[in-house]
Amino acid sequence: MSEPLVVVGNGMASARLVEELTARALGRYSIAVLGNEGTPAYNRVLLSSVLAEEASAAEIELRPVRWWQDRGVTLLYDHPAVAIDTAIRRVRLASGATLPFARLVLATGSQPVRLAAPGMDLPGVVTFRDLNDVATIRKASRAGSRAVVIGGGLLGLEAAYGLAKSGATVTLVHLMDRLMERQLDARAAAMLKAAVEARGVSVRLRAETARIEGASRAEAVVLSDGRRIAADMVVVAVGVRPNTALAQSAGAAINRGVMVDDRLETSVAGVYAIGECAEHRGQCYGLVEPAYEQARVLAANLAGQAASYAGSVLSTNLKVSGVNVFSAGDFIGAAGTEAIVLSDPGLGTYKKFVIQDGRLTGAVLFGDSADSRWYLDLIRSGRPVAPFRSELAFGRSLAGPLA
């Protein structure tokens, strides 16, 4: 008889887990997937495409409903879980119904951080995290409307790009001295700023939000230096924090995220966590690729195949505001490293490779990320690059058979 397995969370991590697990052990578990939103799992990376009307909500769904049905999965989207009772092994839903489980996977993701500044609760102040947010932003935005985006990370840039494409006048304000400071070095960030501004977004760096002003709704963002930026809408995209409330209700150990071991198991036996809500060896990744790696390891363990998660090389491989961007590893370069840089301003491309002890330890690609997977594999494997060092910056094809 199949064991009941409940997966709480219907995002990219849980979809990959179901895919991996049913490929390994179809029929071993009776799987139920719970989701807060009223839609099947979708690709959050493409939210800006929906905002910019380059794709529909249906087009970014990861799998059609039939795919889940063919694997025997009970898909309960729009059924939020509110509590977990590990003593009787049941999950309670917002509707009052309960589901039994033998094993439970938490893939609850994260929630947007709200700035501790006056005016954040005014109507017209929104976040950019899910399809509901996209619908809210699209309803409020119009050609000629004024939007201020707070935050120069990936989500902020994507929101700004989507709003600009819709015809809004967009100003992006960012606290730090460069965009995407966690993913890009100074030179790549400067090129990204130029590309974003070329797409109609005004970028203001070293800009701290002091408050949002407005009588009945948001009317302006006021910076700490006194500058006032008029706004019909304010999008806050300053980061996320792991959703841990359900894990706490289950008695699982929490630090910043839900703490897991190398098997992705929490401190509660039979309860696991993956994706943005999970904290492994002190690290909360908040990225898609580590979530997929965690899903693969957990699926193997649930299928009875011993597997261990040793952590992930931090990497970003995305299209930001229409520009291909990739970074991985130590792309800044610690003491004792050397850098190979290839830049072509005419083509709008920039590549930087950090080498230590004859091995690639970090990379940044801007404008051309065609060989990103190869570079990431080199970083992960620690394979010597000396045999093709002089061709490294030109990609795998020119590196030849030695690569």
Report how far apart, in Å, the C-alpha atoms of 325 and of each of 141, 189, 290, 317, 371 are.
27, 10, 18, 6, 11
What letter does residue 37 receive in the DSSP assignment?
A: S
The two most distant CA atoms of the chain are separated, in Å, by: 66
Ramachandran assignment for 110, one of left (phi > 0), alpha (psi -120 to 50 degrees), beta (any other):
beta
Collapsing DSSP to helix, strand or coil, 117 comes out as coil
* Residue 265 neighbours by CB under 8 Å, 6+ apart: 271, 272, 301
Q: What is the pLDDT of residue 400?
A: 62
Q: What is the pLDDT of residue 349?
A: 96
What's this model's pTM, rounded to 2 decimal places? 0.93
Q: What is the pLDDT of residue 151?
A: 98
Say if strands 74-76 and 29-34 run parallel, antiparallel, or are unpaired: parallel
* Residue 198 neighbours by CB under 8 Å, 6+ apart: none
Cβ density class 17-55: b for 16+ within 10 Å, e for less: bbbbbbeebeeebbbbbbbbeebbbbbbebbbbbbbeee
d(CA 377, CA 44): 25
Ranges of beta strands (E only) in 248-357 are 258-260, 271-273, 278-280, 315-320, 323-329, 338-344, 349-356
Q: What is the pLDDT of residue 187?
A: 96
pLDDT averaged per 10 residues, the chain (length 403): 95 98 97 95 92 93 95 95 97 97 98 94 95 92 90 94 92 98 95 95 98 97 98 96 97 98 98 99 94 98 97 87 90 91 94 96 95 95 92 81 56
Report how far apart, in Å, the C-alpha atoms of 118 and of each of 206, 211, 213, 215, 228 are.
19, 5, 8, 12, 14
Tell me the β-bridge partners of 34.
8, 76
Domain over 125-236 is classified CATH 3.50.50.60: yes
| DSSP string covering 173-185 | E-SSSSTTTTT--
CATH of 322-402, one of 1.20.1250.20, 3.30.390.30, 3.40.50.10610, 3.30.1600.10: 3.30.390.30
Say if strands 125-127 and 233-236 run parallel, antiparallel, or are unpaired: parallel
Q: What is the pLDDT of residue 333?
A: 87
End-to-end CA distance of the chain: 49
Q: Could you state, in order of their start, the residue ranges of all structural domains in the chain? A: 3-111+240-302, 125-236, 322-402
Tell me the β-bridge partners of 105.
7, 272
Strand order from edge to edge, sheet including 220-223: 209-213, 220-223, 228-230
Same fold, 125-236 and 322-402: no
Q: What is the pLDDT of residue 401?
A: 57
* Residue 110 neighbours by CB under 8 Å, 6+ apart: 240, 241, 242, 243, 276, 277, 286
Q: What is the pLDDT of residue 329?
A: 93
Choose among 203, 202, 190, 164: nearest CA to 348: 190
CATH of 3-111+240-302, one of 3.40.50.300, 3.50.50.60, 3.40.1580.10, 1.10.10.10: 3.50.50.60
d(CA 170, CA 324): 21
Choose among 4, 239, 244, 2: nearest CA to 106: 244
Token match 């991996």: residue?
A: 20
